[in-house]
Structure 1
Amino acid sequence: MTRGGSNQLLTPEEVAKWLKVSASTVRNRYQAWGLKPQRVGRLLRFRERDIEAYLDRNHG
C-alpha cells in the first residue's frame, strides 16, 4: 500500500493482507478498531487513509 492518505477504497481482504490478519477478523473487529466503513451496496469498503490513521493511533 502507498503512504499518503489516499481515498482509495480497500476490500476487507486487502485490509486483512495489509494488517496480516484474516478477512473475517477485519469484518468482525472493524467497529472495535474505530474504523468507519464505506458501504457500496451491501459490501464493506475501507478508505486507505482511515487504515493509516488507525495504525498511527494504535501502533505508531
Structure 2
Amino acid sequence: MAQKDRISVDVSDMREQIDCRTDVAWQELSLAGKIRTLLRERLDQMKSGDKQT
C-alpha cells in the first residue's frame, strides 16, 4: 500500500463505540481492523441505498 493511502485519525473519543460489539471475533481484531470493517460496512450500506433509488 502506498504511503499516500494512509492517514492518521484521532479516534480516542469514539473508542467505546468502536469496541461496542461483544462477539469474540470482533475482540480479536486490532483497532485498525475494526475501523476498516466499520467503514466497509457503512460503504456497503450506502451502495445498497443507492441501488434502491
With the length of structure 2 as denominator, give the TM-score of the two structures: 0.27
More strand by proportion, 1 or 2? 1
More helix by proportion, 1 or 2? 2
Choose between structure 1 and 2 for higher RCO, CA contacts under 8 A separated by at least 6 residues.
1
Larger radius of gyration: 2
With the length of structure 1 as denominator, give the TM-score of the two structures: 0.26
